[in-house]
Amino acid sequence: MSRKIGVIGMGNVGSTAAHYIVANGFADDLVLIDINEKKVEADALDFQDAMPNLPYHTNIVVNDYSALKDADVIISALGNIKLQDNANDDRFAELPFTRVQVRDVAAKIKAAGFNGIIVAITNPVDVITSIYQEVTELPKNHVIGTGTLLDSARMKRSVAEELNIDPRSVVGYNLGEHGNSQFTAWSTVRVLGHHITELAKDRGLDLEAIDKESKLGGHKVFHGKKYTNYGVATAAVLLANTVLNDALTELPVSNYREEYGTYLSYPAIVGRDGVVEQIQLDLTQEELDKLQISADYIKTKYAESK
């Protein structure tokens, strides 16, 4: 019955995600929504101008919430990145804007009768994912944030660069808030057949420096162009495809963890039914402490957002 994806918010991230979907034929039907009607119509037309030179066809619907009723996945990419730029790289700077927008959007999604999976990119993503779940009243495991799927990719990129290998050959996770309180759970990182903590000595790896570089990398992207789009849009589309394919892949995404009482990033098995299983890592005490701090931070911010 065909794949149907909605993208809400056609800024740098949403339009890049939509383009990635169109260029690869990942969806049959694509619903694009933005309050800036001229922008979303411009993007839709631009995609249609691309289509005669593309191998796949995608049906595009613009600004029609009712078309989301039978969508499989909605990617929420709305935001106001300028707020972050003025605020020292704190993703929470966007919250006063996004919490209002997202409540409105979530209510409309609910009114449309949407019954699929929400993939949230909108920042601060852990709080926003909570808001989506709260307003739509969808099951908690049907609302997922891209979370540290991007940050884990950045960590892999930094580690891989240091060792001159493919980042895909690095296994491991960044956990917690998709924001400043997150951290690399080095106990989970394996590369070249070893725990990276073992390898670090032999190879002269400075994990703290890598951690820093990985975070600075994100800032470098952000300050270099005043937004980031390719990394996060790729993460979001991978997550959406994982849902569509029912791939049951382990991904570090923002999902509701009962023991922390909040959405935060922690690896989970993702499929057509959203988060279908939660992993239980063997973290070190230090990592557990960091995760608790990160969880508390998200919870406080969520409470403040109400």
Binding annotation for NAD(+): 9-14, 34, 121-123
Q: Shortest distance, CB of residue 267 to its own copies, whole angstroms?
A: 6
Q: Rounded to whole angstroms, how far apart are CA atoms 174 and 266?
A: 8
Q: Is 284 in the site for its own copies (CB under 8 A)?
A: no
- Verify binding: residue 208, its own copies, rule CB under 8 A: no
Which of 150, 189, 196, 264 forms a contact with its own copies (CB under 8 A)?
150
Per CB under 8 A, contacts with its own copies among 47-66 are: 47-59
Tell me the three-class secondary structure of the chain, residue by residue: CCCEEEEECCCHHHHHHHHHHHHHCCCCEEEEECCCHHHHHHHHHHHHHHHHHCCCCCEEEECCHHHHCCCCEEEECCCCHHHHHCCCCCHHHHHHHHHHHHHHHHHHHHHCCCCCEEEECCCCHHHHHHHHHHHHCCCHHHEEECCHHHHHHHHHHHHHHHHCCCHHHEECCEEECCCCCCEECHHHCEECCEEHHHHHHHHCCCHHHHHHHHHHHHHHHHHHHCCCCHHHHHHHHHHHHHHHHCCCEEEEEEEEECCCCEEEEEEEEEECCEEEEECCCCCCHHHHHHHHHHHHHHHHHHHHHC
User: Which lies closer to its own copies via its Cβ, residue 212 or residue 230?
Assistant: 230
Q: Which is nearer to its own copies, 151 or 177 (CB)?
A: 151
Catalytic annotation, pick one of 178, 195, 219, 223: 178
Contacting residue, 61, 62, 205, 221, with its own copies by CB under 8 A:
221
Q: How many chain residues interact with its own copies (CB under 8 A)?
A: 90
Q: Does 39 bind its own copies (CB under 8 A)?
A: yes
Interatomic CA distance for residues 301 and 306, integer angstroms: 9
- Residue span binding its own copies (CB under 8 A) among the ranges 87-95, 129-137, 254-262, 275-283: 275-283
Binding part of the chain for its own copies, among 15-23, 77-85, 94-102, 175-183 by CB under 8 A, reads 15-23
Indicate whether 205 belongs to the interface with its own copies (CB under 8 A). no
* Complex with its own copies: residue 62 or 207, whichever CB lies closer: 62
**By the rule CB under 8 A, 17 interacts with its own copies:** no
Q: Is position 142 annotated as part of the catalytic site?
A: no
Question: How far is 87 from 209, CA to CA, in rounded Å?
Answer: 24
Binding residue positions: 9-14, 34, 121-123
Contact present, 4 and 71 (Cβ < 8 Å):
yes
Binding its own copies (rule: CB under 8 A), the pick from 5, 7, 8, 22 is 22
290 in contact with its own copies (CB under 8 A): no
Q: Closest separation between CB of residue 36 and its own copies, Å?
A: 8
* Residue whose CB is less far from its own copies, 245 or 292: 245
241 binds its own copies (CB under 8 A): yes
Among 124, 147, 231, 274, binds its own copies (CB under 8 A): 231
Question: Under the criterion CB under 8 A, does residue 77 sit at the interface with its own copies?
Answer: no
Residue 142, interface with its own copies (CB under 8 A)?
no
User: What phi and psi values does residue 295 have, to the nearest 5 degrees?
Assistant: -60, -45
Q: Which residues are catalytic?
A: 178
